[in-house]
Amino acid sequence: MFKLDGGRYAEVALPESRFWIPELNLGLGVWQGCYQDVEQPWLRWYDHKGNWVSTSIEQERQRTQRLIAQLKALGIEPDLD
């Protein structure tokens, strides 16, 4: 990995597969998983707690699951077809 240091890029040795970027308050790391039906290691952002930042697809899936749970709590069985 390279980091801009005083107008020049300097190579940075990574002791692990994550690198914190304080200027962004985010980190960039290697995540093993499936994205767009492709299973492999991917670069992915993570937050200050070390949690991966959700993709838009993951956010939509979580929102849908919350809504389904709320409907079921109200006694409504959602039609998912």
pLDDT in tens, 27-56: 999 999 998 899 999 999 999 999 999 999
In the chain, % of residues over pLDDT 90: 73
Q: How high is the pLDDT of residue 75?
A: 94
pLDDT at 11 over 80: yes
The answer to whether 44 touches 18, Cβ cutoff 8 Å, is no
Q: Which residue has the tokens 């240091």?
A: 5
- pTM of the full structure: 0.70
E strand or H helix at 45, and its extent?
strand 38-46
pLDDT at 12 over 90: no
Give Cβ neighbours of residue 31 (< 8 Å, ≥ 6 apart): 41, 42, 43, 44, 52
Give Cβ neighbours of residue 80 (< 8 Å, ≥ 6 apart): 68
Domain map (residue ranges) of the chain: 17-73
69/4: higher pLDDT = 69
